[in-house]
């Protein structure tokens, strides 16, 4: 060994030791800061796609309720038994098309709101979770359409600097029957989109998703039924959440991903903390109940806001400038002008 080389090496290390020490300190500080950022909850609200253009004031109001994230939902359309997926079509609402989505993204950014883009497929008279086919040719045709729909929005999300993409929502049978397709699709999305990616599993099937480890969060449509009482108390609901919280924490630790409630919310009616999918069918017959909605939202946020396995959630839903509702906003999921709005503002300001 050449002793001169060794000496020169030692001299170099000695003369630069303080720089290396300073670099090490900076790296430690960056790691600590990164952990701090990771600990921040996503205080999110889903802004319903409006049928016609809105102004930036609608995003002002979302920000004023304490939200720091919004979810935008561009819909695609399918018909039961058919393999097509129609999207970004002239007949769709302004807020469902790329033109409206881009404008809403700009307005959100002007209000310093982060964005999750959540393309979903609507099947009139049915549910995307039930979409399945009996022949390989039909499956392949549908996969081709679904892939084009998803990659279109992934590319737009990348172009617009959207922070998170929810690649699909509640495709229960599709995931069960065609898991290989989803792994390929996630890989393709990663090639065109650099942000975080999740998927929204239905509350009763999130443990059946095989590809969580390929994503950044475990996404759940969190409509867990808790109580059929007309107006369950906050204390009752907090107690009912406890076993479910333990289950979610255990699953999060096993997968190694935080859980994100890609959707959560409650109708403004009696019994809203029960089986949401059944209550929706009875919405016009149910009595309006702001307190039940407020209690249910407060119980969920109180339960999860202090946990380390929960990344946050997106309240379903908010009507920008009152547009996009289905004719019964006083009973719908939105908290606007109701007791729930004050609850959300209070809790979101703390997490």
Residue pLDDT, tens place only, 39-55: 689 999 999 999 999 99
What's the CA gap between 22 and 192, in Å, rounded?
37
Q: What is the pLDDT of residue 11?
A: 57
Cα separation values, 168 from 128, 135, 220, Å: 10, 22, 11
pLDDT given for residue 351 in this prediction: 82
Question: What whole-number distance in Å separates Cα of residue 241 and Cα of residue 79?
Answer: 37
pLDDT means per 10 residues, the chain with 351 residues, are 47 48 40 47 97 94 96 97 97 97 97 97 95 98 98 98 98 98 98 98 98 98 98 98 98 98 98 97 96 98 97 98 94 98 95 82
As given in the structure block, the two tokens for residue 282 are: 């009875």
Q: How far apart are CA 149 and CA 296, in angstroms?
A: 35
Please report which residue ranges of the chain form alpha helices under DSSP H: 3-39, 57-64, 98-110, 136-159, 172-177, 179-192, 234-255, 276-279, 290-304, 339-348
């Amino acid at each position: 060994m050449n002793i001169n080389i060794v000496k020169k090496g030692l001299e170099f290390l000695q003369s630069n030791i303080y720089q290396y020490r300073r670099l090490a300190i900076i790296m430690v500080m960056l790691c600590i800061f990164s952990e701090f950022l990771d600990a921040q909850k996503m205080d999110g609200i889903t802004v319903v796609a409006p049928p016609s253009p809105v102004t930036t004031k609608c995003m002002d109001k979302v920000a004023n309720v304490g939200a720091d994230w919004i979810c935008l939902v561009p819909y695609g359309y399918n018909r039961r038994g058919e393999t097509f997926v129609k999207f970004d079509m002239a007949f769709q609402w302004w807020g469902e098309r790329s033109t409206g989505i881009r404008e809403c993204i700009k307005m959100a950014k002007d209000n310093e709101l982060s964005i999750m883009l959540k393309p979903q497929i609507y099947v009139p008279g049915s549910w995307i979770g039930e979409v399945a086919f009996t022949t390989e040719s039909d499956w392949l045709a549908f996969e081709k359409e679904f892939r084009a729909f998803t990659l279109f929005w992934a590319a737009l999300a990348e172009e617009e600097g959207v922070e998170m993409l929810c690649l699909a929502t509640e495709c229960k049978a599709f995931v069960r029957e065609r898991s290989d397709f989803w792994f390929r699709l996630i890989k393709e999305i990663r090639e065109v989109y650099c942000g975080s990616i999740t998927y929204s599993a239905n509350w009763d099937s999130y443990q059946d998703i095989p590809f969580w480890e390929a994503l950044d969060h475990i996404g759940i449509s969190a409509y867990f039924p808790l109580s059929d009482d007309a107006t369950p108390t906050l204390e009752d609901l907090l107690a009912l959440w406890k076993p479910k919280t333990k289950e979610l924490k255990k699953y999060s630790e096993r997968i190694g991903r935080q859980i994100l409630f890609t959707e959560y919310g409650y109708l403004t009616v009696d019994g809203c903390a029960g089986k949401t999918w059944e209550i929706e069918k009875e919405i016009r017959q149910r009595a309006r109940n702001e307190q039940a909605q407020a209690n249910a939202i407060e119980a969920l946020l109180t339960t999860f806001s202090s946990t380390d396995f929960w990344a946050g959630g997106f309240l379903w839903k908010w009507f920008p400038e009152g547009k996009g509702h289905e004719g019964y906003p006083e009973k719908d999921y939105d908290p606007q002008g109701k007791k729930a709005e004050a609850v959300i503002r209070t809790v979101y300001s703390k997490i």
